[in-house]
Amino acid sequence: MPAALELEQTPPAPLGRWIIWIIFTLVLSLIAWACIGTIDEVAVSRGKVVPSGRVKVVQPLEEGVIGAIHVDEGDKVKAGQLLMELDPAMDTADLEGLRKNLAAARLEKEMLAAERDGRAPEEQVLSGLLADSGLAPGFLEELRRLKTAGEAAHRAKEDALKLTIAQREKEISLERTKQEQAEKKYMLEQLTQQEKPSEDKSMLDALNRRNDLLTAQQEVESAITNVRKLTDSLEEAKKNLQALNEERGQTLLASIVEKDKTIHALEAELLKAQTKVGYRKLVSPADGTVLGIAAQTIGGIVTPAQPVITIVPDGTELIVEGTLLNKDIGFVSAGQEVRVKIDTFPFQKYGTLRGEVTEISADAIDDPELGTVYRMKVKLLEQRLNVNGSPVPVTPGMTVSAEVKTGDRKIIEFFLSPILKYAEESLTLR
């Protein structure tokens, strides 16, 4: 059996030995590395970037219907920039009505002032007020008609009193003439009465002269009485005319004062309505970023003081709000270092941000997906990532993973822990 002897006498190939030794060495090295090497233990918290405070909330003054939304969440805005418009249809109608009422009141006041001053209204003023008000030209014509009617009624009363005065003056003049004639006649009768009667004249003539004297005296007294009565009537007519004019002036003045009050009230209402229309435009109170828009439906209803848009002012400190699993709560405390990974920017390429745990909620809450969790806040020690050579600021709303270092652990423990756990649990079984 020369072939078998030759095979037995042939020495083993060195390559196989080398492979075995290499594998053995690698296994020993891996075991040694697992026993010596350590890795970080971390508690992972999912959350998002939010402002730490000082957010600006935009709210409507009154109930309204959303007409337009000019920004989206995450947009950068400037102070005074238009964010949202509420439908101003109803307020605009009220505003137009107030403007017309105000113009009408001013037109009426001008007509009353012209009538009081006894002048013609200033056509330029009337035309300007009419053009600004949007009132129909017929309104001014109606005011003119009413003014003419009022003046005509007053003039009729005034003319009647003036006619009475003229008649009384004429009657007084006639009565004064009669009085003068009666006085002359009375003086003549007195002279005649003083003459000595002739012997041949009878007592009857003397009696007649005496009667004539008495008659002349009565005529004088009657004329004086009539003049006095007519004078009193004249004075009364003059007083009535003066009272009529004064009453007319007072009535016009009272109407002007009332119109002034109406104008002031309408001006205040108009200013209020204009302010309300201005409040229908919601603007940004500061430079910043739109954090959230609560009402995003065109045609939707918003109520007074309802928060509709939230603005984060520039320079506001940002933090991370996340949830910490119940199994990790015993290993995390305030002050621990945090590594924050931004979902938008893969950490393998753009790196992470440094942070620090600042607050952990005292009570747990139930999460439908994660079960019992705790709220955790992380202060961002860095708020910019280097993206393609440019610093990019972190903005509110970005989702993140916050990893809190809770300790070190040997690599071999990851392999032995399941075995030891299984062995311990198996020994407790009956």
* Residue 181 maps to a domain: yes
Q: Is 249 found in the same domain as 142?
A: yes
Q: Is 286 found in the same domain as 272?
A: no
pLDDT in tens, 375-428: 999 999 998 898 888 888 888 888 999 999 887 666 666 566 666 566 665 655
Q: Is 105 found in the same domain as 186?
A: yes
The better pLDDT of the pair 373, 217 is held by 373
pLDDT in tens, 315-371: 788 899 999 999 889 889 999 999 999 999 999 999 999 999 999 998 989 988 888
Q: Is 375 found in the same domain as 235?
A: no
Paired tokens of 319: 């933090």
Paired tokens of 197: 């009667």
The better pLDDT of the pair 15, 287 is held by 287
Least confident of 42-56, 88-102, 271-285, 335-349: 88-102
Mean predicted confidence (pLDDT) in 259-283: 87
pTM: 0.50
Q: Is 108 found in the same domain as 253?
A: yes
Amino acid identity, position 192:
T
Q: Is 119 found in the same domain as 249?
A: yes
Mean predicted confidence (pLDDT) in 259-285: 87
pLDDT in tens, 147-176: 667 677 767 777 787 888 888 778 777 777
Q: Is 234 found in the same domain as 370?
A: no
C-alpha radius of gyration, the chain, whole number: 56
Q: How high is the pLDDT of residue 26?
A: 83
pLDDT band of 374, cuts 50, 70, 90: very high
Q: How many CB atoms lie within 10 A of CB 373?
A: 21
Q: Is 98 found in the same domain as 241?
A: yes
* Residue 12 maps to a domain: no
Q: How far apart are CA 132 and CA 127, in angstroms?
A: 9
Q: Is 145 found in the same domain as 243?
A: yes
Q: How high is the pLDDT of residue 341?
A: 94
- 3-state secondary structure string across 285-298: CCCEEEEEECCCCC
Is residue 53 within 8 A of residue 33, CB to CB? The reply is: no
Q: How many CB atoms lie within 10 A of CB 121?
A: 19
In which domain, by residue range, is 78 found?
Answer: 56-86+282-302
Domain end marker among 302, 334, 366: 302
* Residue 261 maps to a domain: yes
Q: Is 73 found in the same domain as 207?
A: no
Q: Is 76 found in the same domain as 101?
A: no
Number of domains in the chain: 3
